[in-house]
């Protein structure tokens, strides 16, 4: 075993924190890399396929994925031959961040004692595709039972476009978790709608 093993691993760890700040947990890492892997192989994942991989509980994967989408690292694209099917892909911004990270990793692997070059901080991660909704809309995105990524500001909800969230009300009735996924703009009459509070 190399006697500087932990010093090399420490550098890899520091590199990841510095270059990939959007990956806060191992699940974030697995989600982003798995989506990129299937995209590169020509078979992009749908949300359902991602959930079936069992990277973590469905609720956790959904929550962490929504965060990565909000940060502009992952996006949902329509399948070219079936517009109803949404595919998960790493965005060009995400590709650039991973590509830089990989190059720096290769330098560490090639010469573990050489310090990595200093580079500018990662680019702006705030490219969000948002829709806004007022509570009067009474859609899933404004309902307290909806567990997707959203933020309430000045009385309106900012929600990531095309995101889906789990309906907790349905999940608590024992309905299959995949069948509880609802888009924020779902507006069919629902007798269970309840206004979400700030910070929900
Ligand atoms: S289906 Fe009904 S209860 Fe569930 S999130 Fe949508 S509005 Fe709320």
Q: What is the pLDDT of residues 87-137, one digit of tens each?
A: 999 988 788 888 888 988 888 877 655 555 544 444 443 444 567 888 888
Our answer on whether the CB atom of 140 is closer than 6 Å to any ligand 1 atom is yes
Cα distance between the two ends of the chain: 49
Mean pLDDT of 141-166: 79
Structure tokens belonging to residue 115: 């310090």
Q: Output the CA angle 110-106-127, nearest 5 degrees.
A: 160
- Ligand 1 centre from 25 Cα, in Å? 29
- Ligand 1 centre from 158 Cα, in Å? 17
Mean pLDDT of 154-180: 79
For residue 147, the cross-strand partners are 166
Q: Phi and psi (nearest 5°) for 75?
A: -140, 165
- Ligand 1 centre from 163 Cα, in Å? 15
Closest Cα to atom 4 of ligand 1: 167
pTM (predicted TM-score): 0.56
Q: How far is CA 14 from CA 17, 83, 173, in A?
A: 5, 41, 44
Mean pLDDT of 168-180: 82
**Ligand 1, from 139, 147, 169: best to mutate by most atoms within 8 Å of Cβ?**
169
For residue 146, the cross-strand partners are 167
Q: Output the CA angle 22-23-24, nearest 5 degrees.
A: 105
**Ligand 1, from 136, 137, 142, 146: best to mutate by most atoms within 8 Å of Cβ?**
146
Contacts within 8 Å (CB) and 24+ apart, 114-118: 116/11, 116/15
Which domains, from first to last, does the chain contain?
5-110 (1.10.10.10), 130-182 (no CATH)
The yes-or-no verdict on residue 77 having pLDDT over 50 is: yes
- Ligand 1 centre from 7 Cα, in Å? 50
Q: Which atom of ligand 1 is nearest to the CA of 138?
A: 7
Our answer on whether the CB atom of 173 is closer than 6 Å to any ligand 1 atom is no
Residue appearing with tokens 């989506």: 35
Our answer on whether the CB atom of 193 is closer than 6 Å to any ligand 1 atom is yes
């Amino acid at each position: 075993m190399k006697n500087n093993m932990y010093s090399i691993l420490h550098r890899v760890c520091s590199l990841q924190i510095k270059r990939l700040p959007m990956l806060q947990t191992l699940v974030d890492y697995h989600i982003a890399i798995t989506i990129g892997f299937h995209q590169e192989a020509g078979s992009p994942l749908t949300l359902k396929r991602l959930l079936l991989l069992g990277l973590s509980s469905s609720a956790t994967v959904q929550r962490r994925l929504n965060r990565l989408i909000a940060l502009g690292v992952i996006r949902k694209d329509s399948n070219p031959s079936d517009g109803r099917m949404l595919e998960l892909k790493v965005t060009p911004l995400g590709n650039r961040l991973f590509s830089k990270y990989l190059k720096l990793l290769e330098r560490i692997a090639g010469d573990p004692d050489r310090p990595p070059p200093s580079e500018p901080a990662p680019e702006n991660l705030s490219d969000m595709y948002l829709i806004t909704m007022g509570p009067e809309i009474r859609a899933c995105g404004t309902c307290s039972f909806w567990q997707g990524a959203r933020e309430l500001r000045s009385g309106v909800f900012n929600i990531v476009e095309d995101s889906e969230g789990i309906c907790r009300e349905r999940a608590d009735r024992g309905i299959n978790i995949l069948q509880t996924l609802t888009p924020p703009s779902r507006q069919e009459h629902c007798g269970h709608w309840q206004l979400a509070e700030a910070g929900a």
